Amino acid sequence: MKLLLASSSKYRRSLLQQLGLPFDWASPDIDETPRADESPEQLTCRLALAKAEALAAQWPHHWIIGSDQVCVVNGRITGKPGTVEKAVTQLQACSGQRISFLTGLALIHPASGFSRVITEPFHVRFRELSTIEIRHYVEREQPLDCAGSFKVEGAGIQLFEGLEGRDFNSLIGLPMIALCELLREAGINPLLAGSGDC
């Protein structure tokens, strides 16, 4: 069994390491521009699969994991902020709101033709945030490469009233419960890997 994570994200690599399985990783080069009239669910599934398929020719005998996440605020897709001011603006829009995060997850095996794609939803209820709280948080944590402008694995948890969903890891970018389900569907049991019985 050979695993490949189709991502350059340090956050996703850290999550995948929790399974205790050896894996390689590589950065896929794809166009992530949303298509006209594409829903957030369609976008995340398409991009997760595209990331995995972009590496299929180079890694044909690996089980390739692709993932993509979007933040949906008031029905609109919100990307990574990139700048402090955009992060502040994003968090101001999230203040007091219930925000949805959709994570597309793909698992493919080019040599056998196995291919599965799912979307994992997760919802966050932000508390009412003051501008000074938001600015202090952004300056402190610099969540400029994170959809939604926060790091839930860090101080970002202080921004919330509640979390709704089956897998907290979805917020970090790799839904681990769903990934384990897909691996078992493919005949790979992460708990037994390395025992000869997987």
- Neighbour-count burial for 56-65, b at 16+ CB within 10 Å, e otherwise: beebeebbbb
Task: Give the Cα separation of 24 and 2 in Å (integer).
Answer: 8
DSSP H helices in the chain:
10-17, 40-54, 84-94, 131-141, 176-185
Is residue 167 annotated as part of the catalytic site, yes or no? Answer: no
Structure tokens at 132: 């000074």
Catalytic residue (one of 24, 29, 37, 68): 68
* 71 DSSP assignment: E
Known catalytic residues?
A: 68
